Amino acid sequence: MVATSRSRTEPIAASRTAADLRREAMWFARYLIDAVPSEALIERYVRANAKVLHEAPTARDEAVLAFVHAHPWSLGWLDAGTAFTRGAPLLRKKLVVMMAILETTPAHVDATAPVDDVGIPQLVWRLGRAGAKAAVKLVGGSVLATLLTARRPR
């Protein structure tokens, strides 16, 4: 057995610096609601990582997160691509944590509400466009996630 510098029960946040988590909060909020989060929301995200995400990241998780940190443009692609890929769920867990923070913030309720009051034709157009975009990202992101996590232990 190989000794590591971190125990399996130590929070994931310990594997990233506070500065890394702050950058993640900015990228995740921009991706999820297309807005820059307040300083209070960024701090809430940093604290939530230490409290909520306690499993040690796998090598695949580390590969995906390292790529996102090096290439923030890949976030949407890897979010879609890791939806059906085993072995890289940490990115998606972190996105869920950020979305929960944003949804519970009064300033972002409108951005996180499911649908505003629009007519059926507009709703059908939005759903079709979102579905097509999601399908493209799912295929492209799956390829990217597979390339990043191939030959990494689970």
DSSP summary character for residue 53: -
H/E stretch holding 147? helix 120-149
Q: With bands split at pLDDT 50, 70 and 90, how would you rate the model's confidence at 115?
A: low
| DSSP3 helix / strand / coil % (the chain, rounded to 5) | 70, 0, 30
- Buried b vs exposed e over 94-131: b needs ≥16 C-beta within 10 Å? bbebbbebbeebeebeeeeeeeeeeeeeeeeeeeeeee
What predicted TM-score, i.e. pTM, was given to this entire model? 0.76
**What's the confidence (pLDDT) of residue 9?**
38
Mean pLDDT over 13-37 rounds to: 86
Per-residue pLDDT at 11 exceeds 60: no
The four Cα atoms 148, 150, 152, 153 give a dihedral, to 10 degrees, of 130
Q: With bands split at pLDDT 50, 70 and 90, how would you rate the model's confidence at 2?
A: very low
Structure tokens given for 106: 């009064």
Given a contact cutoff of 8 angstroms between Cβ atoms, the answer to whether 138 and 81 are in contact is yes
Percentage of the chain with pLDDT > 70?
Answer: 84
H/E stretch holding 64? helix 59-70
The per-residue pLDDT of the chain, averaged, comes to: 83
**What's the confidence (pLDDT) of residue 151?**
65
Most confident of 28-32, 104-108, 148-152: 28-32
